[in-house]
Structure 1
Amino acid sequence: MNLLIANDIGNSETKMFIDGTLIKQPSVVKRLLSKPNVSEPDVHKNINNLLDELFVHVSSKAIKRDGLYFIGKRANITSKVENMNIKLGKKSTHDIPILMTLSMIAGRSVQLEFQKDGKLPKSTSVEVDMTTAIPASEFSTYQAKLLEKRFTEEPHVVIVHVGETTVTVTIEFKTVKVTQEGIPALYSLIENENGILEDYNRIYKKMAQPKDFANKKILHVDIGDGTTEYIYTIGLNPITDACSGAKRGVGHATEEAIQLLKEDTGGFLEVNRQQFMNILRDSTHNLHDLAVQHMEEARFSQAKKILEDVQEKYSDIGGNVDVIAVYGGGSIQFKEELYSDLLDFANNVHCEVLWIPPEYAVDMNVRGLKVINEKILKKRVKG
């Protein structure tokens, strides 16, 4: 089996296009010392729910220690899971991006084999061509090559548990291209539908189309979970020396809010970032109102820091900016605290704000990686 993959390895969520199908998982894992009991014997149900119930054994020289793991959604319903340390960063050297990538590819491969043959194979082999990205605050040619090598140096073996049955998946990466976060989003923007500019055109009384941004000078503000990336592009070219990142984002606001909520519960509450976000989304949770209150306070603090970063970056590049483009999951979380102030700043310095609508904002990078796959990587692989 040959797979073409666009892989956005986020601190909060891992998003992948695997041969055109978008798959998402929380970026969390739980290491196990023994196999859990199997409660569902029906193979069809297990296949349908496989990615939500992902239980694997990963053997790879790219990680520090082989072992049994719950992955993503399956891990997130348990306590004491491992997630990315957003204060330290370093996606290129951390094991979680490798574990998430290998496990999601293996799980999806098993589903595809079952769809093709109507039965589970004992084993299967997968060849992968993949694009992915790391933060600008971490990016260098050395770090990019390091992550590429972790994937490509040796084949990886993932044993996927499907109920009481196992399937051994051998994954070999033929081509891996690592770029810096923010760059793929530009490709996503210019190849997108006109709806992505609805708010922009209304505010500035224009009839712009996405392709019009291919020649603009853009300061990208990609607000993620662990980092906010400030990418400066002229046309389709990143100006590397003017690109940077800072440890700002939803994850940092969430950790501040978790600490406040922990204090309000006498120090007894132990939740990770993903579990705290579940409390925020669940209006029936007994801690929901407190969580909302503390998250509002933490968002205000993070939004102020991001605004100051944008102002400093604008000054550093000499004001040579047509548009400040804001996207990423954090753009949804922080809009109330940041949007108005950013518009005022942009008006004062004679540039514009493109605040990507929420239905597009979260997947800008993974969709841009997919564009890079289709326009660049696929041709390179065939060529």
Structure 2
Amino acid sequence: MNMKVAADIGNSTTKMIVDDELFSQPSVIRRLMRKPQVTETDLNKNVVNLDENLTVHITSPAIKETSDGLYVIGQKAITTDLDKVQNMNIKLGNKHKHDLPVIMILSMIARKIVKDEFNETGELASNYEAVCELSSAIPASEFSFEKAELLEKRFEKDGHTVVVYLGEKKVTVQITFKKVKVTQEGVPAIFALLSEDASILEEFNEMYKKEDDVKEDVLEPKDLKKMKIFHVDIGDGTTEFIYTDGVNPILDACSGEKRGVGHATEEATVLLNEQVNGLMKVNRQSFMGVVSDKTHNLHDEAKNALDVAKGSQANFILDDTIEKVANKAGNNIDLLVVYGGGSIQFKKYLFNDLKEFADQIKTKLLWVPEKKAVNLNVIGLDILNRKVFFRKKR
């Protein structure tokens, strides 16, 4: 089978689009020393619940020899043994060198094949082969064409084998990458913005609506193709600052900083652990589970710690934005656009200050609505797959 795969390897979540299906997993893995115990033998149930119980054995030339082995992936990894969980080191970066993104992508491709084949036929063979065209992105803070090529070549090596465990059933998936394209995080988002309908700009147009409300004052997605835009893509481990003229990034003016929700969460995790005298094992993902669970006995403490940490992190992002718009773009921008998963978390801390800054330099602020903000990069990669990277030549 042939597949076009768009993979946004975020520090918090890995998102993927294959055949118009968007699915995701927390960017977390846990190594197993022995085969998982079989607790459910019904194949249908095991396929239906695969996202919550993704267990795989990986053999791949793209990862270290010592990394070949048995793993639980994403949701399954964060349910037990938190002290053994592996996630991205957001302080060190170098995403192009890590094994974790490769393991996430291979596992999620295998998951897609297993679920699709079972849903189509009602049964599973023991072996499948897939030939993939893959696009992904690495942060602007570490991007260079050499680093992008290094990650591309890791995937393009032959012989990626994923064994998916489904109770008593094992399915082996052989994955070959025909072509791989790695670009700079933030760049695909402009293609996603251009493809959106007018609803993405409703709040923006309402905010900037003039008293006479003439048609010319209403911004439409297609207008973005003619504009100089400064993007602030707030993620988990990095915030990307991308300057585009139309659909073209001005590479010398693109950069990134190690700012984001993950850094605020790590700081808040330290604060929470201090309050409980180190008696609670918490990582970034599980900490956010405490914050979202209002019934948790430490919910209020965790939420307060996160509020303090977010405020501090937001100040860093504000200062970075002002400095980079001035020094990288010479304050010559038509639009300041904010998106990414962190844009939701930081809006109440940043919106007013960035709106004031935009007014001062005679430009406008587009804060992408919550429903659209998280998936712009993976949607943009999927568009690039079909229209640019892997378009069939006539």
Which TM-score bucket, shorter chain as reference?
Answer: over 0.9
Shift of residue 19, structure 1, vs aligned partner: 1.3
Distance in 2 separating the partners of 1:350 and 1:154: 52
Please give the secondary structure, in 1, of the residue aligned with 2:52: coil
- Partner residue in 2 for 1:54: 54
Q: Deviations over 1:110-157 (max 9, x none)?
A: 112222322110100001011111000111000000000010122200
Distance in 1 separating the partners of 2:61 and 2:137: 21
Structural mapping, 1:79-158, within 5 Å:
79-80=82-83, 81-158=85-162
- Partner residue in 1 for 2:237: 226
Distance in 2 separating the partners of 1:115 and 1:290: 44
- Partner residue in 1 for 2:388: 376
Comparing 93-102 and 313-322, the one that deviates more: 313-322
Please give the secondary structure, in 1, of the residue aligned with 2:233: strand
Match of 1:276 among 257, 281, 287: 287
- Partner residue in 2 for 1:177: 181
Shift of residue 215, structure 1, vs aligned partner: 0.9
TM-score (ref. length: structure 1): 0.98
- Partner residue in 2 for 1:363: 375
> Residue type matched to 1:232 in 2?
Y
Task: Give aligned-pair identity as a percent.
Answer: 53
Distance in 1 separating the partners of 2:180 and 2:61: 17
Matched, 1:213 2:224: yes
> Residue type matched to 1:58 in 2?
I
Matched, 1:66 2:78: no
Matched, 1:28 2:42: no
The answer (yes or no) to whether the contact 1:139–1:180 under 8 Å persists in 2 is yes
> Residue type matched to 2:303 in 1?
V
> Residue type matched to 2:260 in 1?
G
Poorly superposed stretches of 4+, deviation over 4 Å: none
The answer (yes or no) to whether the contact 1:51–1:104 under 8 Å persists in 2 is no
Comparing 270-279 and 221-230, the one that deviates more: 270-279
Shift of residue 336, structure 1, vs aligned partner: 0.5
- Partner residue in 2 for 1:347: 359
* Structure 1 alignment gaps of length 5 or more: none
Structural mapping, 1:11-26, within 5 Å:
11-26=11-26
Comparing 118-127 and 243-252, the one that deviates more: 118-127
- Partner residue in 2 for 1:41: 41
Distance in 2 separating the partners of 1:115 and 1:287: 41
The answer (yes or no) to whether the contact 1:51–1:108 under 8 Å persists in 2 is no
The answer (yes or no) to whether the contact 1:155–1:173 under 8 Å persists in 2 is no
- Partner residue in 1 for 2:213: none
Shift of residue 36, structure 1, vs aligned partner: 2.1
Aligned residues: 382
Q: Deviations over 1:243-289 (max 9, x none)?
A: 00000000000000000000000111211101111111111111110
> Residue type matched to 2:199 in 1?
G
> Residue type matched to 2:58 in 1?
V
Structural mapping, 1:218-257, within 5 Å:
218-257=229-268
- Partner residue in 2 for 1:327: 339
> Residue type matched to 1:75 in 2?
A
Distance in 2 separating the partners of 1:12 and 1:202: 32
Aligned-residue CA RMSD in angstroms? 0.9
Shift of residue 51, structure 1, vs aligned partner: 2.1
Please give the secondary structure, in 2, of the residue aligned with 1:61: coil
Distance in 1 separating the partners of 2:127 and 2:197: 41
Distance in 1 separating the partners of 2:247 and 2:17: 23
Shift of residue 5, structure 1, vs aligned partner: 0.9
Q: Deviations over 1:214-256 (max 9, x none)?
A: 1101110000000000000011110000000000000000000
> Residue type matched to 1:12 in 2?
S
